[in-house]
């Protein structure tokens, strides 16, 4: 078995997620002041312990909504597990009688809603990726092969029991020392292989744009996959693919590593982070 070429990566990132949990049958378990104070206290404790950054939270009678910032190695499913689990355990200890009165044994209904957001909305990110070739001064019919868009992509890309998740990322990978490695002949095969990597690891590719020294992707991932794991899978597998199919180019360019051991990742969504904050504060 071939060992992974890259084992650790550096990242520039901005990863924001809107999360919503609801009570069983929308029972008003969070109506009282004491209940809401406990929710806030536990949220602070979990975020400090797990190194999450709570950008905003809002508690209503039967919902908890929040805007959370994560690190690249942290996944949404992991964050939900810690948040829902700790909130439920602490609430059950403190408000056992209230749960019994509402005829429920737990604070939360099954599942959750999760949606990514970012500095720009999803449509702006799509336009940005689509315009990369012209942005870098490449024109002509030949540039069409440098772009890929899945005409069958639908969001949410993954069906999950009890949950709805739409986790969209703009991911950028750069060649080692900015080597001018890629061309229009390589692009179709590389795009096809990236789709294979996604199917194997748990993300769907909406669109891509390939330039000589970097690759832009818009992807939607399952909640159990961190963007760090996604980038690592892409870098390692595509590096091996390039070695197999384009070893001559790698030799000529002295670019055997193919990629810089780093990436940029930013979340995007239907609404920007600023719009989600405004919604939560209204």
The CB density around residue 127, as the number of other CB atoms within 10 Å, is 10
Q: What is the mean pLDDT of each run of 10 residues along the chain (282 residues)?
A: 77 98 97 97 98 97 98 98 98 96 95 97 97 93 96 95 97 97 97 98 98 98 98 97 96 95 98 94 78
Q: What is the pLDDT of residues 109-141, one digit of tens each?
A: 999 999 999 999 999 999 999 999 999 999 999
Residues 14-116, CATH architecture: 2-Layer Sandwich (3.30)
What pTM value is reported for the model?
0.96
Residue 264 main-chain phi, psi, to 5 deg: -110, 135
pLDDT tens readout for residues 176-192? 999 999 999 999 999 99
- Tell me whether the CATH fold assigned to 14-116 matches the one assigned to 118-274: yes
φ, ψ of residue 60 in degrees (nearest 5): -115, -175
Task: Specify whether the backbone of 137 is left (phi greater than 0), alpha (psi in -120 to 50) or beta.
Answer: left
Would you kindly state where each structural domain of the chain is located, as residue ranges? 14-116, 118-274
Q: What is the residue whose two structure tokens read 């990742």?
A: 265
Domain 118-274 listed as CATH 3.20.20.60: no
């Amino acid at each position: 078995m071939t060992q992974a070429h890259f084992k650790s990566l550096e990242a520039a990132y901005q990863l924001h997620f809107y999360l919503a949990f609801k009570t069983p049958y929308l029972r008003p378990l969070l109506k009282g002041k004491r209940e809401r104070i406990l929710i806030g206290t536990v949220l602070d404790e979990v975020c400090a312990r797990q190194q999450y950054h709570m950008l905003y939270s809002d508690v209503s009678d039967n919902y908890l909504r929040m805007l959370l910032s994560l690190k690249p190695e942290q996944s949404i499913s992991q964050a939900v597990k810690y948040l829902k689990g700790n909130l439920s355990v602490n609430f059950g200890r403190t408000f056992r009688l209230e749960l019994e009165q509402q005829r429920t044994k737990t604070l939360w209904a099954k599942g959750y809603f999760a949606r990514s957001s970012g500095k720009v909305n999803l449509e702006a990110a799509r336009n940005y990726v689509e315009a990369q070739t012209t942005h870098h001064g490449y024109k002509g019919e030949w540039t069409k092969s440098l772009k890929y868009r899945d005409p069958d992509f639908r969001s949410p890309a993954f069906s999950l029991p009890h949950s709805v998740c739409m986790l969209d990322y703009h991911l950028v990978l750069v060649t080692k020392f900015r080597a001018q490695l890629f061309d229009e002949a390589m692009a179709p095969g590389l795009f096809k292989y990236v789709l294979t990597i996604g199917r194997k690891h748990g993300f769907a590719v909406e669109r891509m744009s390939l330039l000589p020294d970097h690759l832009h992707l818009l992807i939607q991932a399952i909640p159990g996959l961190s963007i760090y794991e996604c980038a690592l899978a892409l870098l390692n597998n595509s590096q091996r693919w390039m070695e197999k199919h384009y070893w001559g180019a790698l030799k000529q360019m002295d670019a055997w590593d193919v990629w810089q051991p780093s990436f940029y990742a930013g979340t995007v969504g239907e609404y920007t982070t600023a719009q989600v904050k405004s919604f939560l504060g209204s």
